[in-house]
Amino acid sequence: MKKIYTTFSFFKQSIAASLLILMILAFIDAYLGYRVFLHGLTLLILVFVLLIFRIVQLNYKYQLDRVHDTNQMESTMWLYAQFKPSVALPAMRDVAGSPDFLKVLVEQVYLHQPKVIVEAGSGVSSIILSEALMALQMNCDHYALDHLEKYADLTREKVKNLRSQVWFTPLKSYAIMGKDWLWYDTDLLDRIPSIDMLVIDGPPENIQPMARYPALPLLISKLSPNAVIILDDTNRPDEQQIIRRWQEEYSLEAKFLYTEKGTCVLSRKTNGNQLTQKN
């Protein structure tokens, strides 16, 4: 829905109102002796400049939104072409995963054929991965972590793949490089020997600054040599800072993908070294 101040009718009404104001100012200036005309004219010009700038800014945003809307529709159609979901999918976008991000997840499954997938944060991405793994009949174990029991239960109800599990894992305090961080309780992951695909779409940014940073320090020892790490929401400054730190600390290659919220796919550099922390 367009803002009222971006419509042509509003612009015409603003011009008419401005002319009326100028006539009133000219009358005051000429007949009452108060020198307000030039000051009022300057103020009106400034208001119009700001208004035009805002209109141009919003029109650019509308154009960008239309591009994203088209991408989401195309990505949704692509997903439905790969498999027919056995459950009704929950709402996407906003705080949930966007279809173009979900498309990236399925593409990475096709490309890397992981044996173990771990998700930091559960939701529509967990359902999509569950459905994709069922459709492909892949020999893959899939685990999704959620720090809120309510949402873990809601996601679990829609996950039908027998090899997909949604775990309620409350946030726990960890000491990482001399600093305390909150992240999912990893005790349940002790039974997993290695992780081939790590999807990081949680916890929410309001938990702490750089909320998703602990994922690699805590799980680095469990990542297989060819593991792929997928981070969502990389349009945000915190996630961009996280990527820079991970690259510095773990010698990672980063591939940025154009999605609505920004997505980055990270992997170890192809120099024969294991994905381990730098000394």
**Chain centre to alpha carbon of residue 80:** 21
Residue 49 pLDDT > 90, yes or no? no
What pLDDT, on the 0 to 100 scale, is given for residue 274? Answer: 47
For the stretch 190-247, pLDDT in tens is: 989 899 999 999 899 999 999 999 999 999 999 999 999 999 999 999 999 999 999 9
For the stretch 146-163, pLDDT in tens is: 999 999 999 999 999 999
For the stretch 51-75, pLDDT in tens is: 777 767 766 666 666 777 888 889 9
Report CA-CA distances (Å) from 67 to 41, 62, 139, 157, 235: 39, 9, 36, 33, 16
Band of residue 6 on the pLDDT scale cut at 50, 70, 90: low
The pTM of the full predicted model, rounded to 2 decimals, is 0.75
